[in-house]
């Protein structure tokens, strides 16, 4: 498989089981953590402590990863990423325009949209789960 673009399939390594005991344990743990964090309210000690658990875990994993990784970086082209960079720039530009544009109710930012979503504990748990999944991917990649 092309490591840069993700296109093409690597069929040489054979099929590995999708659900291993470690993966199931990880998913259950992540779901439990998401439920726990979703049950907290921002600006409380509980929210600080539960959020900090993931931050400390990620920071520790990155330190361990960096300490053991001595591989030479590969050269990558930027062209496959150009559409994503354009989209990211557009989102950041609109976020800043909303942030500095005036009253929040008239110019809702991503944060204020999240506040609307997070009124539902289940929806907040889903956001936490996505955040944990992204963090896991960032550390593992």
Partner 1 sequence: MTWRSVTFVVWTVLGLATLVVVALAMAGRGRIARPSALLFPVSTHPVVRVLVVLGWMWVGWHFFAR
Cα(30)–Cα(104) distance, integer angstroms: 33
String marking each residue 1-30 x if it binds partner 1 according to CB under 8 A: -xxxxxxx----------------------
Candidates 27, 28, 32, 90; binder of partner 1 (CB under 8 A) is 90
Nearer to partner 1, 13 or 21 (CB): 13
Scanning 11-19, 24-32, 123-131 for contacts with partner 1 by CB under 8 A, the matching segment is 123-131
Q: According to CB under 8 A, which residues from 21 to 80 bind partner 1?
A: 37, 40, 42-43, 47-48, 50-52, 54-55, 58-59, 62, 65-66, 69, 73-74, 76, 79-80
Does position 84 interact with partner 1 (CB under 8 A)? The reply is yes
Q: Whose structure tokens read 């964090």?
A: 37
Q: Say if CB 2 and CB 77 are below 8 A apart.
A: no
Residue whose C-alpha is closest to residue 37's, from 48, 50, 27:
50
CB of 13 to partner 1, least distance (A): 16
Residue whose C-alpha is closest to residue 35's, from 101, 134, 137, 120:
120
Does position 99 interact with partner 1 (CB under 8 A)? The reply is no
List the structure tokens of 48. Answer: 């600080």
- Cβ contacts of residue 21 below 8 Å, gap of 6+? none
List the structure tokens of 116. Answer: 């609307």
Count of residues binding partner 1 (CB under 8 A)? 57
């Amino acid at each position: 498989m092309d490591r840069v673009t993700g296109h093409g399939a690597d069929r040489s390594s054979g099929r590995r089981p999708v659900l291993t005991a470690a993966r199931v344990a990880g998913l259950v743990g992540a779901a439990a953590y998401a439920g726990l964090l979703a049950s907290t309210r921002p600006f409380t000690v509980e929210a600080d402590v539960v959020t900090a658990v993931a931050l400390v875990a990620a920071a520790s994993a990155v330190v361990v990863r960096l300490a053991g990784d001595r591989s030479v970086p590969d050269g990558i082209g930027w062209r496959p990423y150009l559409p994503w960079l354009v989209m990211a720039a557009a989102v950041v530009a609109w976020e800043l325009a909303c942030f500095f544009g005036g009253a929040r109710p008239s110019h809702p930012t991503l944060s204020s949209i999240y506040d609307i979503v997070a009124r539902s504990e289940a929806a907040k748990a889903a956001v936490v789960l996505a955040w944990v999944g992204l963090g896991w991917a960032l550390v593992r990649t």
